[in-house]
Amino acid sequence: MDQRQPLPLDQRTRMFAKAIRAFVRQLPPTRITYDDCAQLLRASGSVGANYIEAVDAESKKDFLHRIRICRKEAKESLYWLDLLHDNIAPDQQKRCAELMNECEQLARIFTAIAKTTESRLR
């Protein structure tokens, strides 16, 4: 039985941003994909960048704020992927759906972290 340890969140968010970049490079250069991909690239990179900021937060409130931004950026990445999904070739839609799934998982992780942190702040 394969019992892989989950990746640390800093590595997972970095891999997510890199996967988005690899995916975007394969898309056709249309006006729609260009605009949507520009937004997607910013949001996907922001997930990991804000997680790094959260880890180095100066207070629990600052940590919580950054984690909430991570969640927001993961959800925004999902939004742009969803828009792209309908405007790309069927063979690219499968990879897009996989990336959408990763966005949802990251958003759930950051939601759980935020809830735990909120309860500790009370």
How far apart are the C-alpha atoms of 63 and 81, rounded to whole Å? 27
How far apart are the C-alpha atoms of 78 and 76, rounded to whole Å? 5
Mean pLDDT of the chain: 94
Indicate the angle between helix axes 9-25 and 31-55, nearest 10 degrees: 170
Please identify, in words, the CATH class of the domain defined by 9-121: mainly alpha
How far apart are the C-alpha atoms of 51 and 70, rounded to whole Å? 6
- Summarize pLDDT for 52-64 with one digit per residue, the tens: 999 999 999 999 9
pLDDT band at 4 (very low <50, low <70, confident <90, very high): low
| pTM beyond cutoff 0.85 | yes
- Summarize pLDDT for 86-95 with one digit per residue, the tens: 889 999 999 9
Cβ contact 51:70 at 8 Å: yes
How far apart are the C-alpha atoms of 86 and 69, rounded to whole Å? 27
> Domain locations in the chain?
9-121
Q: Which two tokens stand for residue 30?
A: 């249309």
- Summarize pLDDT for 98-118 with one digit per residue, the tens: 999 999 999 999 999 999 999
Cβ contact 20:44 at 8 Å: yes
